Amino acid sequence: MAARAFRSSSSFLRTAVSAPSSFSRPVLAIHQSRRRFAVSASKMSDYYAWEPEGPTVKTAIPGPKAKAAIAELDEVFDTRSLNMLVDYQKSSGNYIADPDGNVLLDVYAQIASIPIGYNNPALLKAARGDDMINGLINRPALGNFPPADWADVLKTGILKVAPKGLDQVFTAMAGSDANETAYKAAFMWRRQHERGGAHVEFTEAEMASAMDNQLPAGASELSIMSFKTGFHGRLFGSLSTTRSKPIHKLDIPAFDWPQATFPLLKYPLEDYVEENAAAEKAALDEVEHLILNYRVPPCAVIVEPIQSEGGDNHASPAFFRSLRTLTRKHNVLLIVDEVQTGVGATGKFWAHEHWDLPEPPDMVTFSKKAQTAGYYFGNPELRPNKPYRQFNTWMGDPARALLFRSIIQEIERLGLVEKTAKVGDYLFGKLELLAKKYPDQFQNLRGKGMGTFIAFDNPRRDEFLVKAKTFGVNIGGSGKEAVRLRPMLIFEEKHADILLAALEKIATSW
Amino acid sequence: MAARAFRSSSSFLRTAVSAPSSFSRPVLAIHQSRRRFAVSASKMSDYYAWEPEGPTVKTAIPGPKAKAAIAELDEVFDTRSLNMLVDYQKSSGNYIADPDGNVLLDVYAQIASIPIGYNNPALLKAARGDDMINGLINRPALGNFPPADWADVLKTGILKVAPKGLDQVFTAMAGSDANETAYKAAFMWRRQHERGGAHVEFTEAEMASAMDNQLPAGASELSIMSFKTGFHGRLFGSLSTTRSKPIHKLDIPAFDWPQATFPLLKYPLEDYVEENAAAEKAALDEVEHLILNYRVPPCAVIVEPIQSEGGDNHASPAFFRSLRTLTRKHNVLLIVDEVQTGVGATGKFWAHEHWDLPEPPDMVTFSKKAQTAGYYFGNPELRPNKPYRQFNTWMGDPARALLFRSIIQEIERLGLVEKTAKVGDYLFGKLELLAKKYPDQFQNLRGKGMGTFIAFDNPRRDEFLVKAKTFGVNIGGSGKEAVRLRPMLIFEEKHADILLAALEKIATSW
């Protein structure tokens, strides 16, 4: 894939219009494109044609125009979590613009959910296509009335990138309901086993108790196990597995489900080999203990490859291999939540490909950079024994499924996963140097070999993020004091250099 | 609004191209449009230009092409709930097409979620606009990074049709999460009152217990009350309030939340005045009893204006007025779930406008025909005391919010709510005649004065729906034996006549 993309790239320099984006020589491409396409933006076929060469900071952020618009918005919409008001029409590639003319390098990317840049020309073209417009204006109830080409849309899109061993999909709307439908599949699967198989009919007592939210079938004595500091969404079932911060959970009723400790590793890894191995063993022991002893036994364990909202907590591939073995041993399903880690940012399409698992996870959930959501599975028994048990009106959004297909095509055409792995290595190497130079500012640097999915801790993290904007970079945080980097897949070394320069400015500005 | 639309309509007959759709003389409009626009479909500016004059049934449904495509789809996607495979490109207006060339009058409309017809020209135009494309390809995290024009999009769209007294909105993705976020707002509001106000900080014990899913703050001893035979969604919180059918709930853990009996009225209403009034009084007494005595006391009651999935169960405006008074008296919030009843089909934009309430509901949820979702509210105290308590990454979809704005514009331009009220009266009158003629086939006819939101019972309902397709009509069911009519807002008397003819054919075909 990478080789093909590089060929495309050089042909671009010759033909300019018909050839695809230049990834390896973006600056030249910008200049060419600007000269040739200044008049008709719609003809541009290059990511970088619209991308500025660097950030521009004209005002405080928010500036006067943004402040006025925020005040207006606050009359009807809660703006207290507002980070930055955005002019999306003027945002381009890796750069996010605001109404006051500020343009920032964006390594937060809508909480890790912009895959291949703002106003990506390939997506612009796809959005203008008849298929996408049809999906947008004729929204089907996908479970009842799927489009005639739905199999094709799935096979050439969502399923083309299905994790190894998982060849079926249930489509959803966002990360929370992707996880919750996966949980529902797990509960139904386990209860079906307990009943003796798919052919066993429900009893009258089960049907009556289900309607009353009571035992045996309406308040199942089964649970979903998750990890402390994990995040899996904010609806009632997913929030019961989320253990990120009290503010996410306070006052919302939750199920009595178990949580195991996630092995919070110490850095640099090479200095804590034994301690970290012991932490991972202790976590696995706790998982097994809870499977065997928790008062509401789990039918599934859900885990993020890298705990993202919870503070960018990593564990070793060996830990995840053992978790797979352990869950299989106890007939507990393993759900891998790739909502934030999926779609390339770790240098593999799915982060769990880093683990070399002995057998696939039972389900893998996705959303964010996929721009649609759902879960993959392989085992036909995860289709419940009757129709309408796993069902809702829309079951996803075909326009968003088509967008994901176009995203996948661009990722493959340009070899963006492989490139992200390389750029990530470059960025990590430079960050190691910064961390040596300013050890207090860049603590616990982590994400080596995981593409651009990199984080470090800073004791004054919230101020750090505010300062970042003044130096032209939009960055997000996670957990209590992590600075998390979530660039898009079109983030290159030149963008890394801009980011690194800004980070050093922040570090020396206190 | 109606008057304006009629003027537009007559001007259409003169100018054909520039004037908007003819609602009052569609047949003529079809013929004119066909002659003039046969070549360039994209120039058409009329709903009916693409609409056939009636259904066409060429094969059994599914026909050979659909069967082959379904078999292919089933390899990767559960097709057991599939009703009909659809060619959306060939569907138009009130008519749904399949790959075998069958074209049916569609009075099910993607489970009541197509508002103004397949391939509506106004929506087609909107979908091609820069705003919509921008919303589609640059999807924001709306809580953190809203677009600069988000206030305008909301005020000229979603909030333009906000129910009286409710001037704020929380946007969501689908009906289930619209309801669940409304529930979260209710729990946080009530607990804030119990604590003594927004300024009271959370205790350490509350924060610790929230993280453990335990009391006091992580497994709140509050509940949401719903009604038996109600439907509010299928995620874990919404499903705990759904009481439609066991198959929706079996094996999925649910909260111990209370349910009151919905007053299942007897028909014809004029023959059961006293019995029905007694049923409504008994239901209200039960609501009050449960508020005062249920072991997990409710902080909110959720109710559908017409229980839709549960079988098209109506109650009187007086019932709902009393429910509003009763909930206010006990400081319990009233959430009106307008996911299926909202956006015009009952002859009012919101079905609860039929009730003449003494004061507004506390929250109104919407989805389906809105093509986006969320909840309206008026009381500023329903914004939680801190940011990030009610939050998620996407918080809706701006492309879908823009689509709703275009839908609202078309509804207003053509006076479609008022027209639906009239067409509904026409249809109901004709159905009354059919019910007199075939009393066994059209039992418990209901929905008088409620636009086209009409239903009747049939003892062989499932067969009835299958037969309907052979006579050229796509109809849905609800509850155990209801046939529910859910035409779009562009359903006219001529479509009603086609539907009525088909219904009579079915009735005489056994």
Average of per-residue pLDDT across B138-145: 97
What's the pLDDT at B2?
32
Average of per-residue pLDDT across A418-438: 98
What residue type is assigned to position A410 of the chain? E
> Residue B418: helix, strand or coil by DSSP?
helix
Confidence of residue A98 (pLDDT cuts 50, 70, 90): very high
- A472 lies in the same domain as A343: no
What's the pLDDT at B18?
30
Does B365 map to a domain? Answer: yes
Of A181, A229, A368, A456, which is the active-site residue? A368
Q: Which residue has the tokens 């479609």?
A: B416
Chain A nearest-CA distance from B392, in A, is: 7
Q: Give the number of other CB atoms < 10 A from CB of residue B125.
A: 15
* Nearest beta carbon to residue A176 from set B154, B210, B392: B392
Report yes or no: B367 and B373 within 8 Å, Cβ to Cβ: yes
Q: What residues of chain A, 451 to 480, have a C-beta less than 8 Å from chain B? A: none
User: Given a cut of 50, is residue B341 above it in pLDDT?
Assistant: yes
For chains A and B, CB pairs below 8 A equal 384
Residue pLDDT, tens place only, B51-63: 999 999 999 999 9
CATH for A239: 3.40.640.10
Q: Please state, in angstroms and rounded to a whole number, the distance separating the CA atoms of residues A367 and B58.
A: 41
- Mutation test of the interface with chain B: which of A61, A89, A136, A244, choosing the one with the most B Cβ atoms within 10 A? A136
Interface check for A78 against chain B (CB to CB < 8 A): the answer is: yes
Q: Please state, in angstroms and rounded to a whole number, the distance separating the CA atoms of residues A217 and B201.
A: 39
Of A167, A393, A440, A462, which is the active-site residue? A393
Confidence of residue A220 (pLDDT cuts 50, 70, 90): confident
Q: CB neighbours of A507 closer than 8 A, spacing ≥ 6?
A: A434, A437, A438, A441, A442
Is A236–B235 a contact, with Cβ atoms under 8 angstroms apart?
Answer: yes
ipTM: 0.91
Interface check for B130 against chain A (CB to CB < 8 A): the answer is: yes
User: Given a cut of 90, is residue B476 above it in pLDDT?
Assistant: yes
User: Given a cut of 70, is residue A380 above it in pLDDT?
Assistant: yes
User: Percentage of residues in chain B with pLDDT exceeding 70?
Assistant: 90
Q: What Rg, from alpha-carbon coordinates, does chain B have?
A: 24
Does A51 map to a domain? Answer: no
Of A231, A366, A428, A456, which is the active-site residue? A231
Is A337 annotated as catalytic?
yes
Which of B214, B354, B427 is CA-nearest to residue A254?
Answer: B214
Is A137–B130 a contact, with Cβ atoms under 8 angstroms apart?
Answer: no
Does A30 map to a domain? Answer: no
What's the pLDDT at A47?
57
User: Given a cut of 50, is residue B85 above it in pLDDT?
Assistant: yes
Residue A180's alpha-carbon distances to A224, A383, B236, B463, in angstroms, are: 10, 15, 7, 34
Strand pairing of B223-227 and B298-303? parallel
- A467 lies in the same domain as A350: no
Report yes or no: A462 and A476 within 8 Å, Cβ to Cβ: no
Interface check for B141 against chain A (CB to CB < 8 A): the answer is: yes
Is A85–B114 a contact, with Cβ atoms under 8 angstroms apart?
Answer: no
Which domain does A371 fall in, by range?
132-411
Is A151–B77 a contact, with Cβ atoms under 8 angstroms apart?
Answer: yes
- A373 lies in the same domain as A473: no
What's the pLDDT at A216?
87
Q: Please state, in angstroms and rounded to a whole number, the distance separating the CA atoms of residues B278 and B283.
A: 9
Q: What residues of chain A, 142 to 161, have a C-beta less than 8 Å from chain B? A: 143-151, 154-155, 159
CATH for B438: 3.90.1150.10
- A297 lies in the same domain as A392: yes
Chain A nearest-CA distance from B359, in A, is: 20
User: Given a cut of 80, is residue A17 above it in pLDDT?
Assistant: no
User: Given a cut of 70, is residue B153 above it in pLDDT?
Assistant: yes
What's the pLDDT at A33?
35
Does A279 map to a domain? Answer: yes
- B180 lies in the same domain as B103: no
User: Percentage of residues in chain A with pLDDT exceeding 90?
Assistant: 88
What's the pLDDT at B46?
54
Is B80–A387 a contact, with Cβ atoms under 8 angstroms apart?
Answer: yes
Residue B359's alpha-carbon distances to A150, B320, B362, in angstroms, are: 46, 11, 9
Report yes or no: A368 and A175 within 8 Å, Cβ to Cβ: yes
The overall average pLDDT reported for chain B is 91
Interface check for A90 against chain B (CB to CB < 8 A): the answer is: no
Interface check for A251 against chain B (CB to CB < 8 A): the answer is: yes
Chain A nearest-CA distance from B439, in A, is: 30
Q: Which residue has the tokens 């890298």?
A: A306
Does A171 map to a domain? Answer: yes
- B266 lies in the same domain as B351: yes
What's the pLDDT at B220?
80
- A374 lies in the same domain as A506: no
Q: Please state, in angstroms and rounded to a whole number, the distance separating the CA atoms of residues B211 and A226.
A: 12
Confidence of residue B244 (pLDDT cuts 50, 70, 90): very high
> Residue A477: helix, strand or coil by DSSP?
strand
- B445 lies in the same domain as B483: yes
Chain A nearest-CA distance from B288, in A, is: 19
Chain A nearest-CA distance from B147, in A, is: 5
Interface check for A368 against chain B (CB to CB < 8 A): the answer is: yes
Interface check for B187 against chain A (CB to CB < 8 A): the answer is: yes
Give me the number of domains chain B comprises.
Answer: 3
Nearest chain A residue to B156 by CA: give it.
Answer: A76
Average of per-residue pLDDT across A341-360: 98
* Nearest beta carbon to residue B399 from set A136, A147, A220: A136
- A390 lies in the same domain as A470: no
Is A167 annotated as catalytic?
no
The overall average pLDDT reported for chain A is 91
Taking CB atoms and an 8 Å cutoff, what residues of chain A touch B128? 128, 133
Q: Please state, in angstroms and rounded to a whole number, the distance separating the CA atoms of residues B242 and A25.
A: 57
Residue pLDDT, tens place only, B115-137: 999 999 999 999 999 999 999 99
Taking CB atoms and an 8 Å cutoff, what residues of chain A touch B86? 140, 145-148
Which of B387, B223, B185 is CA-nearest to residue A245?
Answer: B387
Give B428-434's long-range contacts (Cβ < 8 A, gap of 24+). B428/B454, B430/B496, B430/B500, B431/B456, B431/B500, B431/B503, B434/B500, B434/B503, B434/B504, B434/B507
Cis check: omega of the bond before A216, within 30 degrees of 0: yes
User: Given a cut of 70, is residue A100 above it in pLDDT?
Assistant: yes
Is A235–B234 a contact, with Cβ atoms under 8 angstroms apart?
Answer: no
- Strand B259-260: give its sheet, edge to edge: B168-172, B373-377, B363-366, B333-337, B298-303, B223-227, B259-260
Taking CB atoms and an 8 Å cutoff, what residues of chain A touch B133? 124, 127-128
A393, A411, A429 — which closes off a domain?
A: A411
What's the pLDDT at B44?
33
Report yes or no: B183 and B257 within 8 Å, Cβ to Cβ: no
- B425 lies in the same domain as B347: no
User: Given a cut of 90, is residue B217 above it in pLDDT?
Assistant: no
Interface check for A63 against chain B (CB to CB < 8 A): the answer is: no
Residue pLDDT, tens place only, A222-271: 999 999 999 999 999 999 999 999 999 999 999 999 999 999 999 999 99
- Helix H, strand E, coil C: the string for B335-393 is EEECCCCCCCCCCCCCHHHHHCCCCCCCEEEECHHHCCEEEEECCHHHCCCCCCCCCCC
Report yes or no: A79 and A73 within 8 Å, Cβ to Cβ: yes
Average of per-residue pLDDT across A436-450: 98
Confidence of residue B364 (pLDDT cuts 50, 70, 90): very high
Interface check for A248 against chain B (CB to CB < 8 A): the answer is: yes
Residues of B taking part in catalysis = 231, 337, 368, 393
Kindly report which listed range (A177-181, A340-344, B14-18, B246-250) carries the lowest average pLDDT score: B14-18
Q: Please state, in angstroms and rounded to a whole number, the distance separating the CA atoms of residues B202 and A42.
A: 53
Output the furthest CA–CA distance in chain B (Å, rounded).
Answer: 75
User: Given a cut of 60, is residue B17 above it in pLDDT?
Assistant: no
Average of per-residue pLDDT across A203-222: 91
Paired strand residues for A217: none
Q: What Rg, from alpha-carbon coordinates, does chain A have?
A: 24
Chain B nearest-CA distance from A77, in A, is: 6
Does B492 map to a domain? Answer: yes
Q: What residues of chain A, 258 to 277, have a C-beta less than 8 Å from chain B? A: 259
- What tokens were used for B331? 């400081």
Does A26 map to a domain? Answer: no
Confidence of residue A218 (pLDDT cuts 50, 70, 90): confident
Is B137–A146 a contact, with Cβ atoms under 8 angstroms apart?
Answer: no
Is B133–A138 a contact, with Cβ atoms under 8 angstroms apart?
Answer: no
What's the pLDDT at A464?
98
Would you list the DSSP string of A94-139?
TEEE-TTS-EEEESSHHHHT--S-BT-HHHHHHHTSHHHHHHHHS-
* Nearest beta carbon to residue A141 from set B66, B75, B111: B111
Average of per-residue pLDDT across B335-353: 98
- B105 lies in the same domain as B143: no
Chain A nearest-CA distance from B170, in A, is: 7
Is A388–B247 a contact, with Cβ atoms under 8 angstroms apart?
Answer: yes
Q: Please state, in angstroms and rounded to a whole number, the distance separating the CA atoms of residues A63 and A60.
A: 5
Which of B137, B139, B134 is CA-nearest to residue A122?
Answer: B137
Is A393 annotated as catalytic?
yes
Q: What residues of chain A, 189 to 228, have a C-beta less than 8 Å from chain B? A: 191, 202, 206-208, 210-214, 217-220, 222-223, 228
- A454 lies in the same domain as A311: no
Does B52 map to a domain? Answer: no
